[in-house]
């Protein structure tokens, strides 16, 4: 039953007849291969590699999580310490409202040669707008307005909005966020690809991986892995499994889980429906969350994201004293130990009443990461349509914003402010 319902949802998605169908531009992004745009990104990457030690990416939610995911997954985590010349160090701003974080970031920018990528459809989202106001002023003070303009790129609407207006006035180079692509589905647009390119990620390979996955996902078949995944998670949801835990055994995938949580949380969590997306990093979290997963409420299932082939080789050594009793592992690769930990965990959790779904990627590179991005976007669209909801809006996000504006004293919110103050 779940599979037939998933196929119906697949038809709704691919025929573009469902709710929110004006935000389906992401479906074709891997095949709408804009070579001039990609070449322009790589040209900027080459330019900034010579003039910037740091590039600050200003954005929140989908406008920063995709690129953050790719950088964490694909770059050497100790590149700075090893002086590996991958590209400028990418840092993020506008993803929070922490005064300490902003002040400490500015301490660094005062000492470094830097540039900025500001990403916003409107230019008025509070967190990135505040960060951009601060960084723009600092850039112009540090370099002068003319040079500062060469160090800012705006990724925004093609024709309207506050950021587009500023970019036109100041002469910033710009890239367009397509009208038919929402923030959490925008990783394969300049929103995600430009920061990746500047950091040294092979964006051509990423798009190729997404294109390959698109071929797989667009097949109307019960063997389609995106349809299978959507069907399985909805089947489990119908059996009372209301929490899905995305599990990885590779710390490079920690931010992939953060991207995935926004994708499914904003797409499905509405109208009193939706599976709650959570995540853990194993084996680390087996020493913290493992107890609850094993023996807590039976309201969850796990989707394990496994990377079959590590990029490096490293083996356990031999110790003549064998004080820790681990010589039986001598000569074994660390990843072999990790795989056995995964297998043991799977069996223990299944025995404890936690269903497991396994998703495997061949390796962690730009091609496979692009495929994973597209796979989950497509599966999310199918899964949400199975719930009968619009996967592409987020009306609940606006509630906190209205309250925040009122409490901050934004003009036009006076009546709401009075009501809220009575409740505080």
Q: Give me the count of residues in the chain.
A: 424
Residue with token string 């040669």: 113
Burial class (CB within 10 angstroms; exposed 0-12, middle 13-18, buried 19+) of 16: exposed
CB atoms within 10 A of CB 164: 21
Select from 212, 177, 162 the least CA-distant residue to 62.
177
Which residues on adjacent β-strands are paired with residue 277?
Answer: 244
Q: Choose, from 81, 287, 313, 422, the residue flagged as catalytic.
A: 287
CA-to-CA distance for 138 and 349, rounded, in angstroms? 52
Q: Choose, from 76, 158, 273, 401, the residue flagged as catalytic.
A: 401
Select from 319, 312, 318 the least CA-distant residue to 335.
312
Which residues on adjacent β-strands are paired with residue 114?
Answer: 54
**Helix H or strand E segment including 198:** helix 190-199
CA-to-CA distance for 372 and 263, rounded, in angstroms? 13
Q: In what order do the strands lie in the sheet with 243-248?
A: 276-281, 243-248, 300-309, 356-363
CA-to-CA distance for 111 and 138, rounded, in angstroms? 12
Q: Is there a catalytic annotation at residue 266?
A: yes
CA-to-CA distance for 252 and 70, rounded, in angstroms? 9
**How does DSSP assign 234-262, residue by residue?**
HHHHHTT--EEEEEESSGGGHHHHHHHHH
In the structure encoding, which two tokens stand for residue 410, read together? 């934004």
In the structure encoding, which two tokens stand for residue 58, read together? 């200003």
CA-to-CA distance for 183 and 56, rounded, in angstroms? 19
CA-to-CA distance for 276 and 253, rounded, in angstroms? 19
Q: Is there a catalytic annotation at residue 401?
A: yes
Give the contacts of 159 (CB within 8 A, at least 6 positions apart).
none
Q: Choose, from 127, 244, 266, 302, the residue flagged as catalytic.
A: 266
Q: In what order do the strands lie in the sheet with 89-93?
A: 89-93, 54-58, 114-119, 152-156, 173-176
CA-to-CA distance for 124 and 130, rounded, in angstroms? 9
Q: Among all residues, which ones are annotated catalytic?
A: 266, 287, 401
């Amino acid at each position: 039953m779940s599979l037939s319902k998933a196929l119906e949802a697949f038809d709704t998605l691919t025929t573009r007849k469902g709710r929110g169908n004006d935000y389906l531009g992401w479906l074709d992004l891997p095949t709408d291969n804009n070579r001039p745009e990609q070449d322009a990104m790589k040209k900027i990457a080459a330019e900034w590699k010579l003039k910037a030690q740091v590039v600050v990416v200003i954005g929140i939610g989908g406008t920063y999580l995709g690129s953050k995911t790719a950088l964490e997954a694909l770059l050497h985590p100790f590149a700075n310490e090893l002086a590996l010349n991958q590209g400028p160090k990418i840092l993020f701003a506008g993803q929070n409202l922490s005064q300490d974080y902003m002040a400490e970031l500015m301490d660094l920018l005062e000492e470094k040669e830097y540039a900025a990528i500001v990403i916003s459809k409107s230019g008025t989202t509070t967190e990135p707008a505040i960060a951009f106001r601060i960084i723009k002023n600092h850039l112009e003070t540090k370099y002068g307005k003319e040079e500062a303009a060469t160090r800012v790129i705006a990724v925004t609407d093609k024709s309207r909005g506050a950021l587009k207006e500023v970019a036109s006035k100041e002469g910033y180079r710009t890239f367009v966020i397509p009208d038919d692509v929402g923030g959490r589905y925008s990783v394969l647009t300049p929103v995600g690809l430009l920061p990746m390119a500047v950091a040294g990620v092979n964006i051509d390979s990423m798009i190729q991986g997404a294109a390959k996955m698109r071929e797989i996902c667009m097949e109307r078949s019960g063997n389609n892995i995106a349809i299978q995944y959507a069907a399985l998670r909805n089947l489990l949801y119908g059996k009372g499994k209301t929490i899905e835990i995305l599990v990885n055994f590779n710390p490079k995938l920690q931010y992939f889980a953060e991207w995935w949580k926004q994708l499914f949380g904003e797409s499905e969590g509405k109208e009193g429906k939706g599976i709650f997306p959570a995540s853990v990093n194993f084996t680390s979290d087996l020493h913290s969350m493992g107890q609850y997963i094993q023996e807590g409420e039976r309201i969850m299932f796990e989707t394990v994201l496994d990377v079959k082939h590590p990029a490096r080789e490293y083996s356990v050594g031999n110790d003549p004293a064998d004080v820790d009793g681990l010589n039986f592992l001598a000569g074994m690769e660390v990843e072999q130990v990790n795989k056995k930990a995964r297998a043991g965990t799977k069996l223990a959790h299944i025995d404890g009443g936690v269903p497991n779904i396994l998703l495997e990627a061949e390796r962690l590179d730009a091609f496979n990461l692009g495929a994973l991005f597209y796979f989950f976007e497509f599966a999310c669209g199918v899964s949400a349509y199975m719930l009968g909801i619009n996967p592409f809006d987020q009306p609940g996000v606006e509630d906190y914003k209205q309250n925040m504006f009122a409490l901050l004293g934004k003009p036009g919110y006076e009546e709401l402010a009075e009501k809220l103050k009575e409740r505080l």
